Structure 1
Amino acid sequence: MKTTESDSLYNHLEKMSTQDLLTNINNEDQKVALAVQTCIPEIEKLVDVVVEKMKVGGRLFYIGAGTSGRLGILDASELPPTFGADPNMVVGLIAGGDTAIRKAVEFAEDDTQGALRDLGEFDINTNDMVLGIAASGTTPYVIGGLKECRKRGIATACITCNADAPVIAEADFPIVAVVGPEFVTGSTRMKAGTAQKLILNMISTTTMIKLGRVKGNKMVDMQLSNNKLVDRGTRMIMSETGTDAETAERLLKEHGGVRKAVEAFLK
């Protein structure tokens, strides 16, 4: 029996009060960060390899189905606005294609060759890393994709929430966060999904920092996509240079980013 499919530690959920439901869900959620903590050594190994690959033009691909696929797409899509990263540096792919982001595509996750077809559109090569996300660790779309990548000499990794899951055997860098039974039996959008999101945050954020896309603790390469970010960027420039708000905002808009604005001011 997979841990992710084992019975909840709670029963008669429909008879619980709202407060009891919320409290018990929160009690289970508190176990997630501790499970992820045990994975830090494995996450560290993966990040160091990803950073080195990106320094020579390599990319990171996330492949997954359902919730796992959506989490990969979410993480990848936030890196360009947050860190000014090229959209092709980290790419999220989901079984069933873009339609599956909002609506389940029947049996898409059972296609063992689906990930290879999807990855093929990006001309993947040995400079790249492919990370399979599968709470159960048995998703054919993910396992098939990793297996085909390894045949081609492409480095692979995985995030799963079941010990001894089949996907582990196809990953050069496996990350296994065993969070225990879900509050609602088998609902891996809950604790397993939270663990996957935490780990993806750690991987992508640490990678971007190691690649120099953060200075101090600031997102100096963020995209100026709304007024809030323009205001944030202005304050960052003021803090870094000591100039006034009007000058900082003018420099920001003139140079299109915090880093370039500060460099221009210091010259």
Structure 2
Amino acid sequence: MNQRSTESRHPDSADLHAQPAERILSLLLDAQIGALSALRPALPAIERAAEAGAKALRDGGRMGYAGAGSSGLMALADCLELAGTFGLAPDRSPMLFAGGADALLHMKGSVEDDPELARADVARAGLGAGDVLLVLSASGTTPYALAATDAAKARGVTVAGFANRADSPLLRAADIPVLIETGPEMVAGSTRMGAATAQKVALNMLSVLVAIRLGHVHDGHMVNVVADNAKLVARAGRIVAALAHVPADAAETALAATGGAVKPAILVARGMSPDQARAALEHSGGHLAPLLD
């Protein structure tokens, strides 16, 4: 196997251990910023992956995530945020993490080498035709990621593969290859740094675009938020007030009438009944724009 770019020496890492703390931190920050610059050429591929995920969810399917180690943690972080930020039901975005919940507390490297584990996870998730699976691997060679890709594709799932190394097996196997070529790490091989940082930002952008396509983001507000704590209840009130152009007390009244659902509350605050608001949203596919404009 040719040496992976993520295992190569970073040109700025020589004598890193001997540098003053301020210099070390500055070099590490510069390397992180440099890794993010690799995202710009990847934007068209990220867009294709987002549009595929949005279509799957809009059509009643699912958009799942899969990965091991640091890449799996980046996938898990984005996956878990979908419910709280965009109101997406957890069963619509299954997470396939090598080693399962136990590996989150005590990371074991061996699980990422187990293709049988990946095949079992794909089967357990029940993914099928019409679904999308986002598979992440910094090197693009992780056995768990490759086996999950093969198993998902065999079931008719569209796979978007995210890797930080050009011409890697994951990118060759994926239906939508997303290359984020971050190059060598400041600590050689430590892909929790540049590669994982860039992967997380890629997923941040992807999931926001998916939410916009589903009508869950309007005018920069998370209008499909599920208000299940005091912070989100207060946020929901501010969103309704801002988009309906009503005072805070009117926004609170509208939210009470819709059981805390933000989208219909915005329409209620503008004069619809709760039933009219729900019917209008069903007709618009969940998008506020045609109803507010």
TM category (shorter chain) comes to over 0.9
Amino acid at match of 2:263: R
- Among all aligned residue pairs of Structure 1 and Structure 2, give the percentage whose two residues are the same amino acid: 34
CA distance in 1, matches of 2:257, 2:105: 38
Alignment size in residue pairs: 267
How much does 1:59 deviate?
Answer: 0.9
1:101 to 84, 88, 104: 104
Which SS does the other structure have where 2:25 is aligned?
helix
How big is each residue's C-alpha offset from its partner over 1:146-204, in whole Å with a ceiling of 9 and x where there is no partner? 11222333211211001111111210111011111111111100000011001111111
The unaligned stretches of length 5 or more in structure 1 are: none
Amino acid at match of 1:218: H
State whether residues 161 and 170 of structure 2, in contact with CA within 8 Å, keep that contact through their aligned partners in structure 1. Answer: yes
| 1:112 aligns to 2:130 (yes or no) | no
Deviates more, 1:248-257 or 1:11-20: 248-257
CA distance in 1, matches of 2:244, 2:37: 40
Amino acid at match of 2:125: F
| 1:211 aligns to 2:214 (yes or no) | yes
Amino acid at match of 1:197: K
CA distance in 1, matches of 2:205, 2:242: 27
How much does 1:257 deviate?
Answer: 2.2
1:130 equivalent in structure 2: 133
How much does 1:125 deviate?
Answer: 0.8
Which SS does the other structure have where 1:174 is aligned?
strand
How much does 1:254 deviate?
Answer: 4.0
TM-score normalized with structure 2 length = 0.87
CA distance in 2, matches of 1:64, 1:23: 30
- The within-5 A match list for 1:118-267 is 118-255=121-258, 256-265=260-269, 266-267=271-272
Amino acid at match of 2:63: L
Which SS does the other structure have where 1:36 is aligned?
helix
State whether residues 99 and 105 of structure 1, in contact with CA within 8 Å, keep that contact through their aligned partners in structure 2. Answer: no
1:64 equivalent in structure 2: 67
TM-score normalized with structure 1 length = 0.95
1:88 equivalent in structure 2: 91
CA distance in 2, matches of 1:76, 1:150: 20
1:46 equivalent in structure 2: 49
State whether residues 234 and 252 of structure 1, in contact with CA within 8 Å, keep that contact through their aligned partners in structure 2. Answer: yes
The unaligned stretches of length 5 or more in structure 2 are: 273-293
Amino acid at match of 1:172: D
CA distance in 1, matches of 2:152, 2:87: 28
Amino acid at match of 2:261: G
State whether residues 5 and 181 of structure 1, in contact with CA within 8 Å, keep that contact through their aligned partners in structure 2. Answer: yes
State whether residues 39 and 180 of structure 2, in contact with CA within 8 Å, keep that contact through their aligned partners in structure 1. Answer: yes
How much does 1:106 deviate?
Answer: 4.3
CA RMSD of aligned residues (A): 1.4
State whether residues 73 and 91 of structure 1, in contact with CA within 8 Å, keep that contact through their aligned partners in structure 2. Answer: no
1:16 equivalent in structure 2: 19
State whether residues 130 and 157 of structure 1, in contact with CA within 8 Å, keep that contact through their aligned partners in structure 2. Answer: yes
